[in-house]
Amino acid sequence: MKDLLSRRTILKIGCSAAASPVFTPLVCAAAPGDHRFIAIILRGAMDGLDVVQPYGDPSLQRLRPNLVRSPDEGLLDLDGFFGLNAGLSALYPLWQQGELAFANAVSTPYRDSRSHFDGQDILETGVSSLTGRREGWLNRFLGATEGARESYAVSVGRSPDLILEGPAQYSSWSTQSDVNFSVDVIARFQRMYAKDPLFAAMFNRALESDAITDTVGKKALTEQGVPRLAAEFLKEEARIASFSLGGWDTHIRQSNTIRQPLRRLSDAITTIKGTLGPEIWSRTAIVAMTEFGRTARQNGAMGTDHGTGGLAILSGGAINGGTVHGKWPGLTDSDLYNQRDLMPTDDIRRYPAWMLRSLFGVPRNVLEETIFPGLELGDDLRLIRS
């Protein structure tokens, strides 16, 4: 695997979207240093008020009579005010070990229209408003970071997430374009190209990538396959990874429908930790982000609708955890955004930005002007262990 993933190659491994309905492309890239950074996009608008419940706010029960829990009913107490949904109980030991944190009442600058597509575009492009710009902040990070220019990316899915798109070029291979040559034909090609180093190298790389895609297509696209594959690449040359988890659009019977995406997220993080091993995990930081939050009030179907303020989840051995970050805005009607949503009190982009600054030394001006245009980085959030 290490030979295949040279620092001069950006590689896309494509598989049928039907084979993996909850995972969209996995992207990995090389970067300087020995830290690892993983961005997980939670598609569908995760309800942060359910995942980390502010049970200490007296308005919560009034707004969500069928959705709230208390520590006596299985909610995992975090700090006497916030509690963790039992669906993430497998991550609770990480909280206790200082390897899990949360950022509440966060949002991109996107407001009011509450379109999944537009919200996800702004989240992945990292810009302040809808401009039609099709360029992801991860791509800009690679272009702006010395030592990450000659990098690779691996995408499992039909096309890379928007977070990768941009001027950084990449080659691509897909299992839908299989190398179905016989052994004899392959041997002839190898003899034909033997005296041409460039063609010989490209043909051999095509064969290697075909073998990898066959393995991915058959084995990796399970619920734990993509996180495990990401961790395997991060054990080699990769330092950056990104993938998506869907299923967070919980309009109906949320207490039931949120269980499966919570389990997938929990499994993804625990799989990454187990695959990386203690040493690499200690240098790893994960941020899980969603396009926007959900309504503060439950709806008539005992679910929630598209909202504004949401939650980011931070994990990893490099995370300075055990903290719920952010200024709590309150849940009285006058505290809510448009009297319906959790009021955002911070820009969600600050969290990946400060992670990149602390992990890879990205200059402040590059983060504010190039990677996340329009962002005010503000004071150090101290997300990474010193």
* Structural domain contains residue 232: yes
* Structural domain contains residue 3: no
Beta strands in the chain (DSSP E): 13-14, 23-30, 36-42, 52-53, 76-77, 83-84, 100-107, 173-174, 238-245, 284-290, 310-315, 324-325, 346-347
pLDDT at 379 over 70: yes
C-alpha–C-alpha distance, residues 203 and 197, integer Å: 10
- Encode pLDDT of 87-136 as tens digits: 999 999 999 999 999 999 999 999 999 999 999 999 999 998 877 777 89
Strands 52-53 and 238-245: unpaired
Domain span holding position 147: 13-179+207-371
pLDDT at 10 over 70: no
- Encode pLDDT of 241-291 as tens digits: 998 999 999 999 999 999 999 999 999 999 999 999 999 999 999 999 999
* Structural domain contains residue 188: no
User: Where residue 91 sits, what CATH number does that domain have?
Assistant: 3.40.720
273 backbone dihedrals φ, ψ, rounded to 5°? -60, -45
pLDDT at 214 over 60: no
Look at residue 207 in the predicted model and tell me its pLDDT: 63
- Encode pLDDT of 224-237 as tens digits: 678 988 898 899 88
Look at residue 157 in the predicted model and tell me its pLDDT: 52
pLDDT mean across residues, the chain: 84
* Structural domain contains residue 93: yes
pLDDT at 3 over 80: no
61 backbone dihedrals φ, ψ, rounded to 5°? -60, -35
- Encode pLDDT of 313-340 as tens digits: 999 999 999 999 999 999 999 999 999 9
Residue 14 — pLDDT band, cuts 50, 70, 90? very low
* Structural domain contains residue 384: no
* Structural domain contains residue 146: yes
pLDDT at 153 over 60: no
Domain count, the chain: 1
* Structural domain contains residue 252: yes
* Structural domain contains residue 197: no
Nearest of 271, 261, 287, 279 to residue 229 by alpha carbon: 271
Whole-prediction pTM: 0.84
C-alpha–C-alpha distance, residues 246 and 24, integer Å: 8
Give 206 or 152, the one with higher predicted confidence.
206
Look at residue 308 in the predicted model and tell me its pLDDT: 98
Look at residue 206 in the predicted model and tell me its pLDDT: 60
Residue 238 — pLDDT band, cuts 50, 70, 90? confident
Residue 29 — pLDDT band, cuts 50, 70, 90? confident
How crowded is residue 173: how many other Cβ atoms within 10 Å of its Cβ? 20
